[in-house]
Chain A
Amino acid sequence: MKVIVDQNKCVASGQCVLSAPEVFDQREEDGIVVLRAENPPEGLADDVRQAVILCPAQAIWLEEQEGEQ
């Protein structure tokens, strides 16, 4: 799984950090999303998918790799 974020679209709602704090963080100066783990382990996949669903600005995408669900 590869995670892609768009900092221009982000509105700093914090939903991704609440969903997967190991993968997402917020910039100190404006709360905009920062990726901590571009290729998170499979164990965090559900949390990351929840972040994608909950992001109000639709600023997070996934590229699922072959063999993953």
Chain B
Amino acid sequence: MNTFSASGTDVPSAQVPDYPMARAARCPFDPPPDLHILQDQAPISRVRLWDGSTPWLVTRYDDVRALLADPRISSESDRPHYPHLSPAQKERRRQSRTFINMDDPEHARLRRMVTASFSIRQVEALRPAIEQIVDGLIDTMLAGPRPVDLVEAFALPVPSLVICELLGVPYADHDFFQANSRILVRRTSTVEQARVATQQLLDYLDRQIGVKLAHPADDVLSTLAARVRAGELSRHQAASMGMLLLTAGHETTANMIALGTLALLQNPDQLDRLRGSADPKVVASAVEELLRHLTIVHSGRRRVAREDIEVGGVTIRAGEGVVLANDVANRDPEAFPDPDELDVDRNPRHHVAFGFGVHQCLGQPLARVELQVVYSTLYRRIPTLKLAVDLDEIPFKHDGNVYGVYELPVTW
């Protein structure tokens, strides 16, 4: 028996590795080396979380994909043994559980209330507005001092401006909701910090829903307000969904912009290939490859088995927690040849960076268009863009539920 695997619910602590694991110091773009060892030697095995619980960790691409699509797997975060990401996340889910932590049919009923705004057609219609936002922010950067923090000046404002427009939230309030959102995605935040941040965001979104009830507009919060008026949603549910969309719309794309830029600056041949091509297919492929390679949602998808599930020679018992490690799954050599190479021509559309199954990211069409516009504009308009500090001075979000960089000082 190898040292990683264990079965049954009584698990001696010495044999079970802690999760999440640490990345190698000199490989900030790669998943933790211990995850690769597990993927190779014990692809479904137990890990220990922050609260001492020992859910199963699944690391191979095929298993991750199969389990995420398995109807015997539950996303309900109020089930016993649900493997919460952090104390802060557990508290947030307690106060504000949305469809991402529900199963069908309620999940489908609530998700479908907002899917219209994220259809391919709707999101494509936003492309000119996104291009304008991106160009405007680049104009401002070029006219301002150097070096500049790309996160603050560009990576965060792009998705923030877009999601505010889409939801109908005043961008002027961005300091408030970004600060609270930041607390919720840090693993090190306390329960009390998370409680206050969640409450503040819910109160804020509730006020915005109130505004839309009185003055409906053409935006997502007004759609939710109409559902409230029709008696299909409570005010609390509407505020929770608004909060989900607002926070999810920020932290993900912003981190992909900054971390993606850093990864491309470290791979100049790939940056040249992307910058040198006017072909939208190359740009689209580069977006998919950076999504796969970086997999910023690096803390695993969290689930609970509803029934016994036989998978990969292991029996996951009904009621046990399961963590699907999509970051290392996206580096599985069985699914992606030379998985650690960043290759913008790869077009790995079958990656699981957005998850898989019925909970696959709702905002993915929007994220794709935002990233396509950014990656095809920023490096062309600032062709000499470079880091203003050494790579080892960049603060990475090792403590984040979503990976990325806290700052990215750049110059040109």
Tell me the complex Cα distance, A32–B121, Å: 12
Question: Does A40 lie at the interface of the complex (its beta carbon under 8 Å from any beta carbon of B)?
Answer: no
Q: Is the interface of A mostly helix, strand, loop or mixed?
A: loop
Binds A, one of B43-51, B184-192, B352-360, B397-405: B352-360
Task: From known contacts A13-B364, A26-B121, infer whether A56 and B112 are also in contact, taking CB-CB under 8 Å.
Answer: no
Contact A26 B120 (CB under 8 A): yes
Name B360's contact: one of A13, A18, A29 (CB within 8 Å). A13
Chain B residue numbers with a CB within 8 Å of A31 are 112, 115-116, 118-119, 122
Task: From known contacts A11-B111, A30-B112, A31-B118, infer whether A54 and B357 are also in contact, taking CB-CB under 8 Å.
Answer: no
Chain A 9-20 against B: per-residue CB contact (8 Å), 1 yes, 0 no? Answer: 101111101110
Name B358's contact: one of A15, A26, A53, A57 (CB within 8 Å). A57
Contact A54 B350 (CB under 8 A): yes
A-B pair count, CB < 8 Å, reads 66
Tell me the complex Cα distance, A56–B120, Å: 16
Contact B358 A11 (CB under 8 A): yes
Question: Does B349 lie at the interface of the complex (its beta carbon under 8 Å from any beta carbon of A)?
Answer: yes
Task: From known contacts A17-B120, A26-B120, infer whether A12 and B349 are also in contact, taking CB-CB under 8 Å.
Answer: no
Tell me the complex Cα distance, A1–B122, Å: 30
Chain B residue numbers with a CB within 8 Å of A57 are 69, 357-358, 360
Contact A32 B112 (CB under 8 A): yes
Tell me the complex Cα distance, A26–B356, Å: 19
Contact residues of B with A, CB < 8 Å?
Answer: 68-69, 108, 111-112, 115-116, 118-123, 349-350, 354-362, 364-365
Chain A residue numbers with a CB within 8 Å of B69 are 56-58
Chain A residue numbers with a CB within 8 Å of B119 are 12, 14, 17, 26, 28, 31
Name the residue of chain B whose CB is nearest to the CB of A56.
B360
**Which bracket fits the contact residues of A?**
20 to 34
List which A1-59 residues lie within 8 A (CB) of chain B: 9, 11-15, 17-19, 21, 26, 28-32, 50, 53-54, 56-58
Name the residue of chain B whose CB is nearest to the CB of A28.
B116
Name A11's contact: one of B108, B116, B349 (CB within 8 Å). B108
Contact B116 A14 (CB under 8 A): no
Tell me the complex Cα distance, A53–B365, Å: 17
Chain A residue numbers with a CB within 8 Å of B112 are 12, 30-32
Chain A residue numbers with a CB within 8 Å of B354 are 13
Chain B residue numbers with a CB within 8 Å of A54 are 349-350
Tell me the complex Cα distance, A18–B287, Å: 14
16 new A-B contacts at CB < 8 Å, known A13-B354, A14-B365: A9-B358, A11-B359, A12-B111, A13-B362, A14-B364, A15-B349, A26-B121, A28-B119, A31-B115, A32-B115, A54-B349, A56-B69, A56-B356, A56-B360, A57-B69, A57-B360
Least CB distance, B399 to chain A, in whole angstroms? 29
Chain A residue numbers with a CB within 8 Å of B68 are 56
Chain A residue numbers with a CB within 8 Å of B362 are 12-13
Chain B residue numbers with a CB within 8 Å of A11 are 108, 111, 115, 358-360
Least CB distance, A63 to chain B, in whole angstroms? 21
Chain B residue numbers with a CB within 8 Å of A12 are 111-112, 115, 118-119, 362
Tell me the complex Cα distance, A32–B68, Å: 20
Chain A residue numbers with a CB within 8 Å of B120 are 14, 17-18, 21, 26
Chain B residue numbers with a CB within 8 Å of A32 are 112, 115
Name the residue of chain B whose CB is nearest to the CB of A13.
B360
Tell me the complex Cα distance, A14–B361, Å: 10
Tell me the complex Cα distance, A9–B365, Å: 19
Tell me the complex Cα distance, A11–B116, Å: 11
Tell me the complex Cα distance, A9–B108, Å: 9
Contact B350 A53 (CB under 8 A): yes
Name the residue of chain B whose CB is nearest to the CB of A24.
B120
Greatest chain A CB density within 10 A among B120, B122, B354 is at B120
Least CB distance, A65 to chain B, in whole angstroms? 26
10 tightest Cβ-Cβ pairs between the two chains A and B:
A56-B360, A12-B115, A31-B119, A31-B115, A14-B120, A26-B119, A17-B120, A14-B365, A30-B112, A11-B358
Least CB distance, B113 to chain A, in whole angstroms? 8
Tell me the complex Cα distance, A19–B121, Å: 14
